[in-house]
């Protein structure tokens, strides 16, 4: 029998190693449908709207330990982006528990968190402060961020003038320089040229060597297997599999081929 003191110490150590823990995580969206397709529908607009309940995540449970790189796979509408949005505090779960330990740097979608009328430089300050840095810390990182993004000639231009590739470069550069413990990457690396994508993958490998935690969403199964040691497979909001990346990807692809 393990002494009570040892059990307590082991439990404390186990909790300390957790980066993200989800228990029965559920997210439901309410969609209001309007009958405005006709004049009659418009005249009846005072009637109660039909509300549809969309369950994006249903009782999803998993634990990710510090230093793990975990891929999240599944078809469109499976709940991948919703899961990352909850971890990034963009959404609140409808029910269930979520534990996140450490500073999170979300790279969720192109342009998310950017103000279109602010310049690239102003958006670096804006996002850096939101992600927990002081203005002084942001200033110390400005040169490195701009150089990594390769936007020296455009950094004083408004964000609305940026291409999707430029947005991705700036977003990844900011996320890579805020000293985050947890990096959330949602599909954005699919945008841009192959050379810069490789630069991002090299940075991710650096994060892995530094023991940071990475949650990586992609439809590119080759990229998932290159980056992640473990994979979560979401299917219509339900966690279908959680395990070794190769095994989970194999089962996922087999399921896709059968449908």
Residues 76-89: pLDDT tens digits? 999 999 999 999 99
68: left (phi over 0), alpha (psi -120 to 50) or beta: beta
Reported CATH class of domain 4-258 = alpha beta
pLDDT band at residue 53 under the 50/70/90 scheme:
confident
Return the pLDDT at 32.
67
147 contacts 71 by C-beta, under 8 angstroms: no
Distance CA(25)–CA(63), nearest Å, equals 12
pLDDT band at residue 212 under the 50/70/90 scheme:
very high
At 102-131, the pLDDT tens digits run 999 988 766 667 899 999 999 999 999 988
DSSP state of 154: T
pLDDT above 90 (res 254): yes
> Pick from 85, 180, 189, 82: which is nearest to 127 by CA?
180
């Amino acid at each position: 029998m393990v002494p009570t003191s040892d059990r307590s110490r082991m439990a404390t150590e186990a909790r300390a190693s957790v980066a993200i823990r989800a228990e029965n995580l559920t997210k439901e969206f309410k969609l209001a449908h309007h009958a405005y397709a006709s004049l009659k529908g418009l005249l009846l607009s005072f009637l109660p709207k039909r509300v549809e309940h969309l369950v994006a995540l249903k009782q999803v449970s998993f634990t990710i330990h510090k230093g793990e790189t975990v891929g999240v796979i599944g078809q469109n509408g499976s709940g991948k982006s919703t899961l990352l949005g909850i971890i990034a505090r963009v959404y609140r779960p409808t029910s269930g528990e979520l534990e996140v330990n450490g500073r999170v740097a979300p790279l969720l979608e192109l342009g998310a968190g950017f103000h279109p009328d602010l310049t690239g430089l102003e958006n670096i300050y804006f996002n850096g402060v939101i992600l927990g840095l002081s203005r002084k810390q942001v200033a110390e990182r400005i040169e490195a961020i701009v150089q990594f993004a390769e936007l020296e000639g455009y950094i004083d231009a408004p964000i609305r003038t940026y291409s999707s590739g430029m947005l991705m470069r700036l977003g990844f550069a900011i996320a890579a320089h805020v000293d985050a413990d947890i990096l959330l990457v949602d599909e954005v690396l699919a945008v841009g040229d192959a050379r810069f994508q490789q630069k991002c993958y090299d940075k991710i490998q650096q994060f892995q060597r530094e023991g940071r935690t990475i949650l990586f969403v992609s439809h590119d199964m080759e990229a998932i297997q290159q980056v992640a040691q473990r994979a979560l497979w979401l299917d219509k909001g339900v966690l279908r599999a959680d395990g070794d990346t190769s095994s989970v990807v194999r089962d996922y692809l087999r399921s896709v081929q059968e449908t």
